[in-house]
């Protein structure tokens, strides 16, 4: 599973943030690793220096082998919260997708 993290220019501490997000993705999605070719993360600060509410955004796109990409997003007060929320949504979406495939093959 290849992981790519993209950030907007106004994100502080980019190198450490990218390493942490890559680690979080690999840990949270490890059970799907053999079924995913790539996961892309797009991190951004919607309001720049104005710190107004849930202005941090994480968009995750997973590319399962032989299937259409699955995309989720989350807005929160911090990049860590947005990433955690998006990872939770993505794990649920992958569980549903792979569960449906298993159900179809079993019938």
What pLDDT does residue 104 have? 55
Predicted model pTM: 0.87
Query: Across all residues in the chain, what is the average pLDDT?
Result: 88
Taking the alpha carbons at both ends of the chain, their separation in whole angstroms is 29
Residues of the chain under the 50 pLDDT cut: 107
Domains and CATH numbers, the chain: 2-106 (3.30.160.100)
What is d(CA 59, CA 47) in angstroms, rounded to the nearest whole number?
16
Give residue 34's pLDDT: 94
């Amino acid at each position: 599973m290849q992981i790519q993290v993209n950030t907007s220019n106004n994100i502080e501490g980019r190198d450490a943030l990218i390493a942490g997000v890559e680690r979080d993705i690999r840990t949270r999605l490890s059970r799907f690793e053999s079924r995913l070719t790539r996961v892309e993360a797009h991190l951004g600060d919607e309001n720049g220096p104005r710190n107004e509410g849930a202005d941090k955004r994480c968009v995750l796109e997973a590319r399962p082998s032989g299937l259409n990409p699955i995309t989720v997003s989350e807005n929160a007060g911090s990049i860590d919260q947005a990433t955690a929320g998006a990872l939770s949504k993505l794990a649920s979406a992958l569980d549903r997708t792979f569960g449906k495939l298993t159900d179809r093959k079993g019938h």
